[in-house]
Amino acid sequence: MSTKTRFAPSPTGYLHVGGARTALFSWLHARKHGGKYVLRIEDTDLQRSTTESINAILEAMTWLGLDYDEGPFYQTRRFDRYNEVIDELLEKNLAYRCNCSRERLDALREGQMQRKEKPRYDGHCRGQLVTDSEPHVIRFRNPVDGCVIIDDQVRGRIVFHNDELDDLIIRRTDGSPTYNLTVVVDDLDMEITDVIRGDDHVNNTPRQVNILKALGKEPPRYAHVPMILGDDGSRLSKRHGAVSVMEYRNQGILPEALLNYLVRLGWSHGDEELFTLDQMVEFFDIKDVNKAASAFNTEKLLWINQHYIKNADPARLARLLSIHLGDLGIDPATGPDLVAVVAEQRERARTLVEMAEISAFFYRDYEDFDEGAAKKHLKAAAQEPLQQLRDRFTLLDDWEKEKLHQAVTEVAGVLGLNMGKVAQPLRVAVTGRAASPGIDITLQLVGKEACLRRIDRALEYIGTRVEENAP
């Protein structure tokens, strides 16, 4: 049977990075083996499932580029099928009706807790005759002895003793099927060969295997991948910053960077850090995934993101950047060619948001000088060089970087100053800050008119500052 994996999120929120990594591993495993990858929405919890969540998850999957071959399937549309299986189990006496009240169940649990036992159903209704006409749930008749052996592809062999397990509910009083039943049926019907999921499901696995055995079916291969922790090693939550995949997009992270970061969390291939999607497919092996949970490190994600920004197609970056410029209220059509700006800025930004921020001055006059930069560079000593630069620039018709570079060099030469003494005040004058791309290309892209205007503004600033400091 050819390989088939699935990603089965429950639509009770956005897609978070842990889910995304599980999806990536499943996707890679399927692609690696030339198999199929299916998407299934586990929406049987009618209370908590929302269409907004479904859309958010689909959007995130699309953004990441984790395309699926089948689905999305919705469990809520498969209730008839689940009932069919439940009825079959009931008929074969592999399941039974239970009318234990919540009160009895609560009392049972409380007693067990007090006796320091593992809380579980005591099988009270196993031999009881409960009719169809009264309110009841259906429980699976779990084997009482023997054990379940799971040869997990990442955890290795795990053994569970049946006497640790109880008779789980597979159909609620309201007639709806429960998770452990629906996964089993779906994975069976969809012919899933490899179940790759978070390791919070390890303890459910023996129950699912027992249901499978009762149905006379072979279990799939399992691979339980560890969780992702926050920067501080505790469970990942909103207080760690972004956890939603789409939030990373909003913060200017490239999807290939997020995928690359995620694949290296718990998996490695020698000393390699950077992988294209094709390389991931080539080298990935679910058996190489680590067992221990790993902490999400934003610094490293930013480093990887910068790598991809540096190497991305400038035209594509320009398209993405224009969105972030728009967030700043800037229309890139009103200034220099965005692709040219990107070419200069892409090795200076770790995210597209950063790139937008450091590129804003190309499109509009800065609000104020950066305080430290102005203090350091816009002082009396800068007056003369700036004035001379202004004079030369005014006469310059051919506004391109070679000529501009020449002008700056000449002013430095004439005044007997090194380049820094001339270029830095000029940079602060033109960009408002102490850091920017090379001064010549910066001048060229900002444009003659804006440069002259901003130099005047800087000269004015220096003028008032000199006056104030005068005795």
Q: Which of residues 133-192 bind RNA (CB under 7 A)?
A: 137, 155-156, 158-161, 164, 169, 172-174, 176, 178-180, 182
Q: How far is the CB of 298 from RNA (least distance, A)?
A: 9
Q: How far is the CB of 106 from RNA (least distance, A)?
A: 9
Give the residue, chosen from 290, 328, 337, 456, that forms a contact with RNA under the rule CB under 7 A. Answer: 290
Residue 438 engages RNA in binding (rule: CB under 7 A): yes
Enumerate the active-site residues: 238
Residue 204 engages RNA in binding (rule: CB under 7 A): yes
Number of residues that bind RNA (CB under 7 A): 86
Residue 129 engages RNA in binding (rule: CB under 7 A): no
Residue 204: name the closest of 142, 251, 266 by CA: 142
Strands (DSSP E) found in 42-110: 70-74, 95-98
Sequence-distant (≥ 6) Cβ neighbours of residue 28 within 8 angstroms: 263, 280, 281, 284
Side-chain-side CA neighbours of residue 366 (13 Å): 24
CB atoms within 10 A of CB 225: 28
Chain positions 367 to 426 lying near RNA, rule: CB under 7 A, are 405, 418-420, 423-424
* H/E segment holding residue 4: strand 4-7
Q: How far is the CB of 180 from RNA (least distance, A)?
A: 7
Q: Which residue shows structure tokens 């006056």?
A: 467
CB 184 within 8 A of CB 212: yes
What does the alpha-carbon distance between residue 95 and residue 173 come to, in Å, rounded to a whole number?
Answer: 15
CA-to-CA separations, 251 to 53, 126, 244, 319, in angstroms, rounded: 20, 55, 11, 15
Helices (H), 338-398: 338-345, 352-359, 371-377, 380-395
Q: How far is the CB of 254 from RNA (least distance, A)?
A: 16
CB nearer RNA, residue 35 or residue 388: 388
Chain positions 224 to 243 lying near RNA, rule: CB under 7 A, are 227, 229, 233-235
Sequence-distant (≥ 6) Cβ neighbours of residue 230 within 8 angstroms: 236, 237, 239, 240, 295, 296
Chain positions 313 to 372 lying near RNA, rule: CB under 7 A, are 347-348
Q: How far is the CB of 255 from RNA (least distance, A)?
A: 19
Which stretch in 284-292, 312-320, 382-390, 391-399 sits in contact with RNA by CB under 7 A? 284-292
Q: Can you read off the two tokens belonging to residue 297?
A: 């490190």
Chain positions 93 to 122 lying near RNA, rule: CB under 7 A, are 100-102, 105, 109, 113, 116-121
* Per-residue contact flags (x/-) with RNA for residues 418 to 437, judged by CB under 7 A: xxx--xx--x------xxxx
Which stretch in 50-58, 277-285, 290-298, 384-392 sits in contact with RNA by CB under 7 A? 290-298
Give the residue, chosen from 126, 217, 300, 375, that forms a contact with RNA under the rule CB under 7 A. Answer: 300
Q: How far is the CB of 232 from RNA (least distance, A)?
A: 8
Give the residue, chosen from 94, 321, 439, 462, that forms a contact with RNA under the rule CB under 7 A. Answer: 439
Give the residue, chosen from 59, 69, 199, 370, that forms a contact with RNA under the rule CB under 7 A. Answer: 199
CA-to-CA separations, 70 to 3, 31, 43, 56, 385, in angstroms, rounded: 13, 14, 17, 18, 67
- Crossing angle of helices 419-431/380-395, nearest 10°? 80
